[in-house]
Structure 1
Amino acid sequence: MSQFWEALFSQTAGAIKPSPIREMLHLIRQPGMISFAGGMPDPAIFPVEQFNEASSILRSSGRDVLQYGTTEGYGPLKEFLATWTAPRMGRVLKAEELLITSGSTQVVDLLNWALVDRGDVILVEEPSFMGSTLNMHNHGARFETLDCDGEGMIVEALPAKIEALRARGETIKYIYTITNFHNPLGCTLSLQRRRALLDVAYRYGVPILEDDPYGYVRFDGDHLPTLFSLDDRGMVLYAASFSKILAPGTRIGWCAGPAELIRKMTVFKQGVDVCTSVVAQALVYEYCRLGHLDAFLPKIIAHYTKKRNAMEEAFRRHLPLDEVRWVTPQGGFFYWLETPNIAATDLFDASIEKKVAFVPGHTFYVGQGGIHNGRFCFTFASSEEIDEGASRLGQAMRERLS
């Protein structure tokens, strides 16, 4: 029977790649395992009571929200977002510039449907979020990569990349960047590089997908202007999500961009899922309307600041500091560790034996790389688990070094 279906699979199905993190969940769920692997929020901070209060909208408007909705999104939620996001977007958005999606990862999928033909090139940071790059790969895209440092994408390398690709006759569709508290790197694109990136986009006519799922979860310093707010030529599509500022189970994301692009993505969404769950959108809207988003977001930020600080202190306490390097994230969910003298896959195997999990760095590369790196999420584990996990990790490192 399996051979029957194998013979019917499409070329796309034959080339599709699974998520390495999803594939390793059976390891993470072992009894006693301390997980720094999955990029999951802490359920202890979920605003359960406040979200339950928002369910009152089902009593008052149930006949509307239980019906099919418009593909563009639930009107009241779009109106709220148009105003609420204005400080980061630089202005109040128009309805036709906004699309509600089933999580921010769907923004990448819809953009790829709208722009990408098989063989087209997407310029991506390396390493980068595998959920996005897997989707790009599954749409038939090819990649040209850009290195990063502590200030994000090294933008000065971009013009030469674009010119070389075009000299070979390649078609470049867009630049993908995670500007704030990068997944997996934890770094933030500097203001100087944000302006330089837009200059490159204008000069070469290559648009930008600005992925910003962590942007509101800043611990230190001031918010930097989004690329979208700096853009005056309609070259940026901005993507964000409620997953990190409310709860991932809502599966509500959104994007903002030029009306003609949003319209084309909306038409593709009609064939993908008709509309994002109206019930979920209505619950999120009511939660926001009641003031819970603004009231609860500072609590989420304070909670994760403590977690970040706990991991920073635990790493400094337990790891062999001469053998490991990292950039302290100013927000978001992740540390990216470099162990120049230890292979990440070896460290992963040793760590799993000690019941602590992380994601080896090579899984975030579309090419070769990350063999001495790993991503560590600090938001899910408790502070006590963070300290114990770092202790076990330090033991595993010392054993490998000896």
Structure 2
Amino acid sequence: MSDTIQGLLSQSAKGIKPSPIREMFHLIRKPGMISFAGGMPDPDIFPVEQFHQGADILLEEGRDILQYGVTEGYTPLKEFLSRWTAPKMGREPSMDEILITSGSSQVADLLTRATVDRGDYVVCEETSFLGNTINMYNQGANFLTIPCDENGMLVEKISNAVDQARAEGKKVKFIYTIPNFHNPLGCTLSLERRKELVAVAKDKELLILEDDPYGCVRFEGDELPTLYSLDDAGLVLYAGSFSKILAPGTRVAWAIGPKDLIRTMTIFKQGVDTCTSVVAQALVYKYCQSGNLDAFLPKIVSHYRAKRDAMEAAFSKYLPKGEVQYVTPKGGFFYWLTTPNIRAEDLFQRCLEKKVAFVCGAPFFPNGGGEHSFRMCFTFASPEETDRGIKAMGEAMKELLAEKG
């Protein structure tokens, strides 16, 4: 970068953090590389034919669909989402409580723009989804991180953390949580903690961003109520996405929340991208309205359940006994592995030599940590690739342990 450009950059730009996952795409796309890194759906399960069947809508309504759309979103899709999400939301949200976004990460982006001043704090899990926490950080947010176990965030620790921060003059704006099949931890927030979290938010006058891209990808166990449905104070903003239940290339997601907050986020969106692609929204609507979403979703769940089982079987078969800790996810896309006697970065470099990639844990810790943990996505690689990749990883682990003595 030239001195001239460097001198013209804003203070925000000088401190901006890139996404480690996006930055490593050039590595994981190399020929022969087995990738457990990016949280990508399996393209073999994309409903290409069913999605294509809805393309006639371009001929039927092309004059409108190819024009600029309203920022709030394509009305037929919003009406569908109101009906389709009603069982999860506890009621049918009104049109002014729904905003269509360009991916669910835009929900976090718009909420941060609407609520966070530079130096303000966000409460989140330790660890958390780096795609959103990096975006929050780049907009000036700091973090109060709350530890987790197999039942999700230790909600009982939030009140003291918030009280201490406020006693020090810090402003805390919202709680960011991924309650179902957490990215990257794989855990699910228990019902008791869900109720407690909503109560804490009400007591401390905090918003909750309920990020739920994986909630429909459940392999086992009973569905738990959304935080949104448990909230009687209008403090929960729910984020859903078609990325994991249709295809990420659509870049269509949604937010459901208090209408005044949705309105404020909409105004920010007007300046960010005017509107989410109307063509994409219309194609997604036609796919859903035709019944394909509900008909195809069980196939997606079954496909990914088999992939999860294949990865865990490979763990048991190849990884050194007693050296790896993890929680079996009941849905979603990820395993979170901890190796107390092996640094994740050392393992990553050794695995790259064997053409296997994953994501090291440190970037998922907003306040530092994670040197002995890493994330594994089980949805993208084939079962055969998973077996070969975990075998190579096990060899790398054994080599590093032997060198350590």
Give the structure-2-normalised TM-score. 0.98
Give distance in 1, aligned partners of 2:121 and 2:286: 41
1:2-401 to 2 correspondence within 5 Å?
Answer: 2-401=2-401
Structure 1: where are the runs of 5+ without partners?
none
Provide the secondary structure at the position in 2 that maps to 1:99: strand
How far has the Cα of 1:340 moved from its partner? Answer: 0.8
Count residues in correspondence.
Answer: 402
One-letter amino acid matched to 1:323: E
**How far does the alpha carbon of each residue in 1:306-364 deviate from its partner, in whole angstroms, 9 at most, with x for none?**
00010011111111121111100000000000101111111111111111111011111
Provide the secondary structure at the position in 2 that maps to 1:239: strand
Give distance in 1, aligned partners of 2:320 and 2:51: 43
**How far does the alpha carbon of each residue in 1:119-145 deviate from its partner, in whole angstroms, 9 at most, with x for none?**
111111111101100111111111111
**How far does the alpha carbon of each residue in 1:179-237 deviate from its partner, in whole angstroms, 9 at most, with x for none?**
00000000000001001111111111111110001011000111100000111110100
Provide the secondary structure at the position in 2 that maps to 1:103: coil
Moved >3 Å (runs of 4+): none
Provide the secondary structure at the position in 2 that maps to 1:215: coil
**How far does the alpha carbon of each residue in 1:59-106 deviate from its partner, in whole angstroms, 9 at most, with x for none?**
111111001111000000000000001111111111010000000000
Q: Is 277-286 or 1-10 further displaced after alignment?
A: 1-10
Provide the secondary structure at the position in 2 that maps to 1:322: coil
Provide the secondary structure at the position in 1 that maps to 2:340: coil
Provide the secondary structure at the position in 1 that maps to 2:322: helix
Give distance in 2, aligned partners of 1:260 and 1:363: 33
Provide the secondary structure at the position in 2 that maps to 1:124: strand
One-letter amino acid matched to 1:29: R
Give distance in 1, aligned partners of 2:105 and 2:273: 14
How far has the Cα of 1:29 moved from its partner? Answer: 1.6
One-letter amino acid matched to 2:380: F
One-letter amino acid matched to 1:333: F
How far has the Cα of 1:24 moved from its partner? Answer: 1.1
Provide the secondary structure at the position in 2 that maps to 1:85: helix
Give distance in 2, aligned partners of 1:5 and 1:295: 52
One-letter amino acid matched to 1:37: A
How far has the Cα of 1:368 moved from its partner? Answer: 1.8
Alignment identity in percent? 64
How far has the Cα of 1:392 moved from its partner? Answer: 0.4
Provide the secondary structure at the position in 2 that maps to 1:145: strand
How far has the Cα of 1:293 moved from its partner? Answer: 0.4
Give distance in 2, aligned partners of 1:238 and 1:352: 37
Give distance in 1, aligned partners of 2:24 and 2:378: 18
Give distance in 1, aligned partners of 2:156 and 2:17: 31
Provide the secondary structure at the position in 2 that maps to 1:210: strand
Give distance in 1, aligned partners of 2:10 and 2:168: 30
Give the structure-1-normalised TM-score. 0.99
